[in-house]
Amino acid sequence: MPSDYTAEELATISLIDQQLEAYNARDIAAFAATYHDDIEVFTLAGGLQYQGKDNLTAKYGAKFAELKYLHARSLTRIVQGQYLVDHELAESASEDKDKIDRSVKVIAAYEVENGLIRRVTFMS
């Protein structure tokens, strides 16, 4: 990693990487642990979608349990202090883990507060 990142930026990058690793492992406990209790999830076009870790856990827990394969990765990343924007590729398989049936590119803008993800805005 380039040495021109601040300590805050390195912490932000590390947290988002932990979140992505937990997502890819479909580990709902580890995934939820990266989020603030009062997480707010937005879409650019639709505004606030839901709030709170309980809602996040219910939504993603069901998704993790339902899908046979799930993987996301950052294609491009920008970080500034507690803000990180990823252009991500997310792929999943609903029937056969070896047959990806959904592939989507999305921009995810994360805001970190006190070492946890406080807000996310998805743009797709």
pLDDT tens column, 50-76: 999 999 999 999 999 999 999 999 999
Lookup: tokens for 49: 């979608």
pLDDT at 3: 72
The whole-model pTM stands at: 0.93
Name the band, by pLDDT with cuts 50, 70 and 90, for residue 1: low
Pick the CATH number of 7-123 from 3.20.20.70, 3.10.450.50, 1.10.540.10, 3.30.565.10: 3.10.450.50
Q: In the predicted model, what is the mean pLDDT of residues 94-103? A: 92
Residue 59, H or E segment: helix 53-66
* Nearest C-alpha neighbor of 123 from the set 56, 45, 16: 45
Distance of CA 106 to CAs 2, 30, 74, 86, 122, Å?
25, 22, 10, 8, 7
Q: In the predicted model, what is the mean pLDDT of residues 84-106? A: 95
- 10-20 burial, b at 16+ Cβ within 10 Å, e below that, comes to eebbebbeebb
- Tell me the pLDDT of the chain averaged across its residues: 96
For 2, half-sphere exposure in the C-beta direction (CA atoms, 13 angstrom radius) is 6
Q: In the predicted model, what is the mean pLDDT of residues 74-93? A: 98
Distance of CA 86 to CAs 5, 13, 59, 95, 101, Å?
16, 10, 21, 28, 22
Name the band, by pLDDT with cuts 50, 70 and 90, for residue 124: confident
- With a pLDDT cut of 70, the percent of the chain lying above it is 98
Q: In the predicted model, what is the mean pLDDT of residues 95-103? A: 92
Total length of the chain: 124
Distance of CA 105 to CAs 36, 108, 122, Å?
25, 10, 10
